[in-house]
Structure formats: C-alpha cells, structure tokens
C-alpha cells in the first residue's frame, strides 16, 4: 500500500495541476493529509462512494498522463543514475581532486531537478 501512496504522490506532483480543482483537493486530502473517505465526504458534503469514485478516477487520469508522457519514469531513471554515480564517487580515494568536483556537479544536477 505504501508503494501505491508513493506512486500516486509522485504522479500528483507531476500532473496534479491537470486535474479538476475538486479532484486535486480530494487527492490532496486523501494522500497528503491522510484523511479518511468519510472525513473527506463530510468536508465536501458528498457520500463516501463519491469520494472513492473521484479518487479512482483521478488516479486513473494521472496514470494515463504518465503512460503518455513518461515524466515520472524519466525522473526516477535519472535519479537512480545519479545515485549510482554518487556511489561510485564514494569509491574514490579521499584526496582525489576529481571526487569533490564530480560530487559538486551531481549536486547541481539534483538541484536543477528540484526546481
């Protein structure tokens, strides 16, 4: 279940603005604020089933965007490669001048990804 939550959270970060305002709010309440279906239903004045349907529809829409655009997949792949580079750098001798230069370049790339 935790992997699903992480997956939806990542998809929401990339594509959430493409959902309707109501879908955004409900997904945010459920995945970011950890509210139950009942709590969200009460907040919006709808049934638990309506909240469930909106969540499932929103998740399906987000997955559809990812299927077409592959932004999360590319981001994850790049992050994994950077982590591999960082692991390799750790194998360098401590006084190797390239170690710090490469580490700084990788950190700059990571900062660019987060902007």
Q: Are 48 and 95 contained in the same domain?
A: no
Expressed as residue numbers, the domain containing 14 is 2-69
Q: Are 62 and 94 contained in the same domain?
A: no
Q: Are 79 and 65 contained in the same domain?
A: no
- Of 35, 54, 69, the residue at which a domain comes to its end is 69
Q: For residues 45 and 16, what is the distance between their CA atoms, to the nearest angstrom?
A: 23
Rounded mean pLDDT of the chain? 89
Q: Are 8 and 63 contained in the same domain?
A: yes
| Domain CATH for 52 | 1.10.10.10
- Specify the number of domains making up the chain: 2
- What pLDDT, in 10s, does the model give residues 30-83? 999 999 999 999 999 999 999 999 999 999 999 999 999 999 999 898 888 888
Q: Is the pTM above the cut of 0.85? A: no
Torsion sign across C-alpha atoms 63, 67, 69, 73: positive
108 token code pair: 């700059």
- What pLDDT, in 10s, does the model give residues 9-20? 999 999 999 999
């Amino acid at each position: 279940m935790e992997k699903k939550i992480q997956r939806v959270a990542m998809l929401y970060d990339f594509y959430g603005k493409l959902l309707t305002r109501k879908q955004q709010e409900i997904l945010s309440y459920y995945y970011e604020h950890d509210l139950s279906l009942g709590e969200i239903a009460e907040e919006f004045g709808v049934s638990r089933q309506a909240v469930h349907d909106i969540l499932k529809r929103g998740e399906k829409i987000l997955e559809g965007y990812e299927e077409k655009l592959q932004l999360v997949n590319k981001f994850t792949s790049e992050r994994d490669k950077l982590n591999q580079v960082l692991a390799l750098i750790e194998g360098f001798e401590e006084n190797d001048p390239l170690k710090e230069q490469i580490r700084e370049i990788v950190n700059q790339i990571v900062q660019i990804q987060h902007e």
